[in-house]
Amino acid sequence: MSLSVVNSTLSALKACQTDIGTGMDMVTDVALDLVETEGSEEDMNKLEQMILDCARLDREINCFVEAVEQVTTQARQQQPDAMFTLKSRVEERLAELQGGFADSDLQKHAKVVSYNESLRNSQKEANPSAADNMEDLDEDIQVTQSQQNFICPLTQVEMVNPVKNKKCNHRYDHDAVLAMIRNRHSQEKKFRCPVVGCGNTDVKQSDLVQDAVMKRMIQKKRGTRT
């Protein structure tokens, strides 16, 4: 077995993960449709199961890729004997990595977090009076109800793919903010949140979460839901 085969298989698996991510976004979208049309609890449960299955698959691929990368890196350094035991060593390392996770950890998958948050926001929006007791409601409702806030502070035009900064709760268009972060980081500088008066001086890609609810509101307003 040659290590170049391993590398191309790993790239294929990583491409798979992109599709899994897209699938998870679609599940979120369907779930939001269901909330709006007051779909059955049974269907909601199925969707939740689907997104958790996707998260599990995504995690398994992560573990597998990591195990293979670690073992092949070691093998490169100790050629050629190590090549004969690659498979069993990958299996061993994989078992170790997966053993470190519990099912409850799936709830921490970024897309599962965003799924749960989107549903919560959508339910609040559908039934604001019942939501008075819920935490962090007021701010979200205020932000989402004002059309002004559909405008990206970077591009000054209506957002297409809004993302929310977990640190300061400001929103930007996905492509614009990523381009700015990359540009600043390539000059080894931090990217400051562009919203006037915001004290967040270091916006990182890892602080950004998809805002599926706002995305749908924008699409609905435009009449271009796809």
Residue 144 or residue 200: which is nearer to Zn ion going by CB?
A: 200
Q: Say if residues 29 and 217 touch (Cβ distance below 8 Å).
A: no
Tell me which stretch binds Zn ion (CB under 5 A): 71-79, 92-100, 149-157, 198-206.
198-206
In whole angstroms, give the CA distance from residue 110 to residue 212: 13
- Residue of 193, 208, 217, 218 interacting with Zn ion (CB under 5 A): 193
Residue 24 or residue 208: which is nearer to Zn ion going by CB?
A: 208
Six-digit token string for 179 = 């381009």
- Residue of 118, 122, 200, 210 interacting with Zn ion (CB under 5 A): 200
Count residues binding Zn ion (CB under 5 A). 6
Closest CB 211 distance from Zn ion, rounded Å: 14
- Residue of 13, 83, 160, 198 interacting with Zn ion (CB under 5 A): 198
Six-digit token string for 149 = 């806030």
In whole angstroms, give the CA distance from residue 3 to residue 25: 34
> How far is Cα of residue 38 from the mean position of the Cα atoms in its chain?
25
* Sign of the torsion formed by the C-alpha atoms of 114, 18, 204 and 161: negative
| CB count in 10 Å sphere of residue 192 | 14
Contact pattern from residue 141 through residue 170 relative to Zn ion, giving x for each residue in contact according to CB under 5 A and a dash for the rest: ---------------------------x-x
Residue 20 or residue 180: which is nearer to Zn ion going by CB?
A: 180
Stated as kind and residue range, the H or E segment containing 45 is: helix 41-77
Residue 121 or residue 200: which is nearer to Zn ion going by CB?
A: 200
* Sign of the torsion formed by the C-alpha atoms of 68, 69, 75 and 78: negative
Closest CB 195 distance from Zn ion, rounded Å: 4
Closest CB 198 distance from Zn ion, rounded Å: 3
> Where does 131-202 show beta strands of DSSP type E?
162-165, 171-173
Q: Considering the rule CB under 5 A, would residue 209 count as an interface residue with Zn ion?
A: no
Binding residues for Zn ion (CB under 5 A):
168, 170, 193, 195, 198, 200
